[in-house]
Structure 1
Amino acid sequence: MPTKVIVVGCGIAGPVLALLLKQKSYEPVIYERGKRSPEAGLSLMLQLNGLRVLSLIPGLVEQLPGMAVDQAMHYSIVQSDERVLGQSGFPGALRREYGHDMFGVQRPAFLALLSDTALAQGIPIHFECQVVGVEQEDGFARVLLNNGETDTASLVVGCDGLHSNVRTSLFGKENASFTGLTQTGGITASAFPDHKPTIFNFYGDGLHVIAYPISEKSYSWALTQREPETKETWRAMDAAAQDAVRNGPFSHLPFGVDCLMENAERITKFGLYDRPELKSWHKGRVVLIGDAAHPTSPHLGQGANQAFEDVYHLIRLLLEHHPAPNSEPSAAELSTVFTEFEAERMERTATLVRGARQAGEMRVVQGAENARARNDAVCEMWADEGAALQKARDMLQTEWVGWGA
Structure 2
Amino acid sequence: MAQNSNQAELPVLIIGAGCSGLALANGLKQKGIPFKLFERDAVLSPRNGRDWGLACHWSVPLLRSLLGEAKWSRISETLADPHHPIQNVERFPLYNGATGEILVATPIENLLRFLRSRLRAFAAEDLVAGVDIIYGKVFEGVEYAADGKSVAVQFSDGTTETGRLVVGADGSQSRLRNILLGPERAANKKLPLAATFVTASYPRDVAVRLRACSLNPIINAFPHPENMMGLFSLLDGADKEHPENWEFAYYISVPISVEEQEKERGLVSKADRVRAAKKNSLKFQDPLRTAYELIPDDLDKVYYTPNANWDPSLPEHEWDNHGGLVTLVGDAAHPMTYHRGQGLNHSLADVFNLVKALSNPEGKSQAELITEFEKEMRTRGGEEVRNSEMNSLMVHNWEKLEQSPLMKRGVNFGSDDTAKERATWMPKNYKNVESEAGLVK
Q: Distance in 1 between matches of 2:23 and 2:177?
A: 20
**Contact 2:197–2:251 (CA under 8 A) maintained in structure 1:** yes
Matching residue of 1:98: none
Match of residue 13, structure 2, among 6, 27, 31: 6
Cα distance in 1 for residues equivalent to 2:396 and 2:322: 39
1:193 is matched with: 212
More divergent stretch after superposition (60-69 vs 202-211)? 60-69
Distance 1:247 1:214, change over 3 A: closer
What are the Cα deviations for residues 226-283 of structure 1, in whole angstroms up to 9, with x where unaligned? 233269x9xxx97635653674442552132112323467221121123353224723
Counterpart of 1:313, as a letter, is N
- Aligned equivalent of 2:386, options 354, 378, 390: 354
Q: Secondary structure at the match of 1:161?
A: coil
TM-superposition CA deviations, 1:187-233 (whole Å, max 9, x none):
344223244425322112131012233444444323221233269x9
Q: Is the 8 A contact 1:77 1:83 kept in 2?
A: yes
Equivalent residue, structure 2, for 1:73: 93
Answer yes or no: is the 8 Å Cα contact 1:183–1:223 preserved in 2.
yes
Kindly indicate whether residue 173 of structure 2 is the aligned counterpart of residue 167 of structure 1.
Answer: no
Aligned-partner Cα distance in 2 for 1:238–1:105: 30
1:184 to 178, 196, 204: 196
The within-5 A match list for 1:248-397 is 248-251=279-282, 253-263=284-294, 266-275=301-310, 277=312, 278-280=317-319, 282-284=321-323, 285-321=325-361, 333-365=365-397, 371=398, 373-374=399-400, 377=403, 388=409, 392=412, 397=422
Distance 1:388 1:307, change over 3 A: closer
Higher mean alpha-carbon deviation, 7-16 vs 251-260, is at 251-260
Is 1:157 matched up with 2:167? Answer: yes
2:107 aligned partner:
90
- Of the candidates 109, 117, 124, which is equivalent to residue 115 of structure 1? 124
Please state how far the C-alpha of 1:19 moved relative to its aligned partner. Answer: 1.3
| Letter in structure 1 aligned against 2:250 | W
**Alpha-carbon distance in structure 2 between the residues aligned to 1:179 and 1:31:** 31
- Do the aligned partners of 2:100 and 2:285 also contact (CA within 8 Å) in 1? no
Distance 1:74 1:10, change over 3 A: same
Task: Quickly say closer, same or farther: Cα 1:198–1:154, change in 2 above 3 A.
Answer: closer
For 1:356 and 1:62, locate their aligned partners in 2 and report how far apart those are by CA, in whole Å. Answer: 28
User: 3-state SS of the aligned residue for 1:180?
Assistant: strand
Superposition RMSD in Å? 3.2
Alpha-carbon deviation of 1:16? 0.9
Q: Percent identity?
A: 21
| C-alpha contact 2:40 2:136 (8 A) present in aligned 1 | yes
Contact 1:71 1:87 in 2 (8 A): no
Provide, for residues 276-302 of structure 1, a one-character-per-residue CA deviation record: whole Å limited to 9, x for no partner.
532247233111111111111112211
State the distance in 2 between where 1:63 and 1:3 align.
34
Distance in 1 of aligned mates of 2:320 and 2:230 = 33
CA contact (8 A) 1:38 1:112 kept: no
One-letter amino acid of the counterpart of residue 318, structure 2: K
How many residues are aligned here?
A: 369
**CA distance in 2 between partners of 1:359 and 1:89 (Å):** 16
Shift of residue 77, structure 1, vs aligned partner: 2.8
Deviations 1:159-213 (A, max 9, x none): 1111112112222222333212112212344223244425322112131012233
Q: Which residue of 2 aligns with 1:208?
A: 229
The whole-number CA distance in structure 1 between the counterparts of 2:276 and 2:113 is 23
Whole-Å separation in 2 of the counterparts to 1:182 and 1:381: 18
List structure 1 segments (4+ residues) > 6 angstroms apart after TM superposition.
Answer: none
Structure 2 alignment gaps of length 5 or more:
1-5, 202-206, 238-245, 427-436
Distance 1:261 1:404, change over 3 A: farther
Instruction: State the distance in 1 between where 2:80 and 2:230 align.
Output: 20
Q: Name the counterpart of 1:24.
A: 31
Structure 1 unaligned regions, length at least 5: 95-100, 324-331, 366-370
Partners of 1:44 and 1:301 within 8 A in 2? no
- Select which of 247, 250, 258 maps to 1:221: 250
Q: Cα deviations across residues 288-344 of structure 1 (Å, max 9, x unaligned)?
A: 111111111112211111111101001111122178xxxxxxxx7111111111232
Distance 2:282 2:51 in 1: 20
Identify if the C-alpha distance between structure 1 residues 53 and 161 changes in structure 2 by more than 3 Å, giving closer, same or farther: same
Tell me whether 206-215 or 294-303 shows the greater mean CA deviation. Answer: 206-215
The answer to whether the 8 A contact 2:311-2:381 is kept is: no
